[in-house]
């Protein structure tokens, strides 16, 4: 059994992030879907990944924001392991840890055509590498504001995220591609 711990929000009052991730991932993982566990913050997600009881046949994966443009993934994994050393004998490694660089909103910005269909004016948005955008959620919020809307991190993300083209996402966001490859093994 595979279990994927994802940074976000388990609260469904404004939208269901778990369902949004499930819909997107199912495009690539038909018949091989992991159980998705949403954390309420980065720290909560990482702590849950390390401390929740584990079944002997379970494979665990972690998906969190990198919060930086060019993360040193091994350093990040080492830091998580040091913080939660000996909790469940689970290691965070480059094989089971995946990063949304810098935030999941970069994945939305990687496909402006999807945002245009949601009524967002993307005419002045021009970025070849969305993973280089500092604070993608702020950039997306600005684009919403310029389109006469207010961006809600959960509601709007949950509505738009499942509409992304996963083939394109694998090309523009290497960590997404690596996540899919790992979950398909």
- Residue carrying structure tokens 């909103």: 105
pLDDT tens string 123-144: 989 888 899 999 999 999 999 9
DSSP letters spanning 51-81: HS---TT-EEEEEEE--SSS--HHHHHHHHH
- pTM over cut 0.85: yes
Helix, strand or coil, per DSSP, at residue 100: strand
Mean pLDDT of the chain: 92
SS3 label, residue 127 = coil
pLDDT per position as a tens digit, 32-62: 999 999 999 999 999 999 988 888 889 999 9
Task: Give residue 88's pLDDT band: very low, low, confident or very high (50, 70, 90).
Answer: low
**pLDDT bracket for residue 151 (50, 70, 90):** very high
Return the closest-CA partner of residue 151 out of 118, 112, 111, 114: 118
E strand or H helix at 23: helix 17-26
């Amino acid at each position: 059994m595979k279990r994927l711990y994802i940074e976000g929000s388990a609260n469904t009052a404004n939208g269901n992030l778990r369902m949004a991730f499930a819909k997107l991932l199912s495009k690539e993982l038909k018949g091989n879907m992991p159980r998705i566990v949403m954390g309420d913050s980065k720290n909560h997600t990482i702590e849950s990944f390390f401390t929740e009881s584990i079944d002997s046949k379970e494979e665990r994966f972690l998906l969190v924001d990198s919060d930086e443009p060019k993360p040193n993934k091994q350093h990040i994994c080492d830091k998580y392991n040091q913080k939660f050393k000996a909790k469940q004998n689970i290691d965070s490694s480059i094989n089971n840890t995946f990063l949304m660089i810098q935030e999941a909103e970069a994945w939305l910005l990687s496909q402006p055509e999807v945002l245009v269909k949601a009524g967002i004016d993307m005419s002045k948005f021009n970025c070849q590498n969305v993973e280089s955008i500092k604070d993608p959620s702020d950039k997306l919020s600005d684009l919403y504001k310029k389109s006469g809307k207010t961006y809600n991190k959960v509601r709007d993300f949950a509505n738009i995220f499942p509409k992304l083209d996963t083939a394109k996402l694998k090309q523009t966001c290497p960590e997404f591609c690596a996540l899919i490859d790992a979950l398909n093994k």
